[in-house]
Chain A
């Protein structure tokens, strides 16, 4: 079959085969069946969001985008996930209550009627939108990202205000003694157990620096904040395997300390040379 004519769809499913019922929720159904409805060749992928919880819908959405499907067939799909899918040129069909096989056949028949040729359109990754519409879409996306970021950021700023006022320098110096290696180690430890948007680590780091904590500690904290992330470790193990996740996390922890030490040493040398 010509590569350009190949069609691929994702169907949420209650089981790993074509006779399973279409899953009611795209984000949390046990399986996502990726199949070519013309040949019925399929692959049953355990839904990464099946356990539910935070980000379940986005994990299933990422799976569909990663598999480069043309359409998603399901019972229910959140408007946000539908929007992300549409942004990648993926059609979403909801309200489907059937077996996966029948749902795929129905989809193929509908496509045949609407296309008048019975052939899927050439694969496309993105919907081409006019420049003005693209700008509006990008601005809305940025506004959403900003709205997610801002409440926590404001909370962090006000928490650091309390920290600066109520925590004494003497107390802080018991942890951050000024020893380069120990400071970097403590910084990396704190950065490893906290997670979230890196912008918060800059604010916390900046305030700690103003409070007399060494740049070694602050730098290690900033690096470990994103690179280590013990909070995310279970998700990384589930997705990429225990061995990879533990090796990467351990290597990243020591890398954070090393990079912090080298960064500050070079920075001090440059700052000293420039007076």
Chain B
């Protein structure tokens, strides 16, 4: 088997798992169309309408992704998280969480390594909490909920992550002393 063929097969095997879910949904539509054709068509039309509505915000998401890819690398995030404790560490962990991207399981080894180098539990908890704030996804969120709601939720998510960081640190200290 040629190298190109192996690579092509590997590419297909990476794509397939992502397609299983939409294909399964398509199969459900096909079955429901046979049983309830009018309802299935209505659901289809509603879904197309939703897709049309999110098309523009999704274009903005793509642009934001490009800009973030240019500006940020995982190494930047690691350096922001490397501080040991205090207000400065919390601020940097917040920034690191907000700008971090990609699947969480790719971050766990880095977080473990940073803790071994002295990053506090509160910094790690703050980082994980702020992963809920995704600047490049804001256009979609705003299109659904409006900017006032998104602004309030974003601020409170950041404050909430700081509270979770504090609680985790306090509980950890309490368990160690008791």
**Given A166-B43, A205-B144: A251 and B110 interface contact (C-beta under 8 Å):** no
Contacts of A60 in B (CB 8 A): 109
Task: Judge if B96 is at the interface, Cβ distance under 8 Å.
Answer: no
Q: Is the CB of A226 within 8 A of B132?
A: yes
- From 1 to 54 in chain B, residues with beta carbon under 8 angstroms from any chain A beta carbon are 7, 10, 18-19, 21-22, 24-26, 28-29, 32, 36, 39-40, 42-47, 50-51, 54
Identify A255's interface contact among B42, B101, B163, CB under 8 A: B163
Given A227-B132, A244-B172, A251-B168, verify A59-B39 contact (CB < 8 Å): no
Question: Chain A's interface: helix, strand, loop or mixed, by majority?
Answer: helix
A244 & B18 in contact (Cβ 8 Å cutoff): no
If A155-B22, A202-B137 touch, does A142 touch B65 (CB 8 Å cutoff)? yes
B18 close to A151 (CB less than 8 A): yes
A161 touching B46, Cβ below 8 Å: yes
Main secondary structure of the interface of B (DSSP, over half): helix
Number of A residues contacting the other chain (C-beta, 8 Å)?
Answer: 80
Binds B, one of A17-25, A111-119, A175-183, A228-236: A228-236
Does the CB pair B140–A199 fall under 8 Å?
Answer: yes
Answer whether residue B85 sits at the interface, using C-beta atoms and an 8 A cutoff.
Answer: no
Pair A157/B62 contact, Cβ less than 8 Å: no
Chain A residue with Cβ nearest B114:
A66
Q: Say whether, besides A244-B124, A267-B152, A58 and B106 are in contact (CB < 8 Å).
A: yes
Closest to A87 in B: B73
Q: Across the interface, do A151 and B110 meet the contact criterion of CB distance under 8 Å?
A: no
| A211–chain B nearest beta-carbon distance, Å | 11
User: Is A86 close to B, CB under 8 A?
Assistant: no
| Contact bitstring A54-66, B, C-beta under 8 A = 1, else 0 | 1100111111011
- What residues of chain B have their CB less than 8 Å away from a CB belonging to chain A? 7, 10, 18-19, 21-22, 24-26, 28-29, 32, 36, 39-40, 42-47, 50-51, 54, 61-62, 65-67, 69-70, 73-75, 78, 101, 103-115, 121, 124-125, 128-129, 131-132, 134, 137, 140-141, 144-145, 148-149, 152-153, 156-157, 160-161, 163-164, 167-168, 171-172, 175
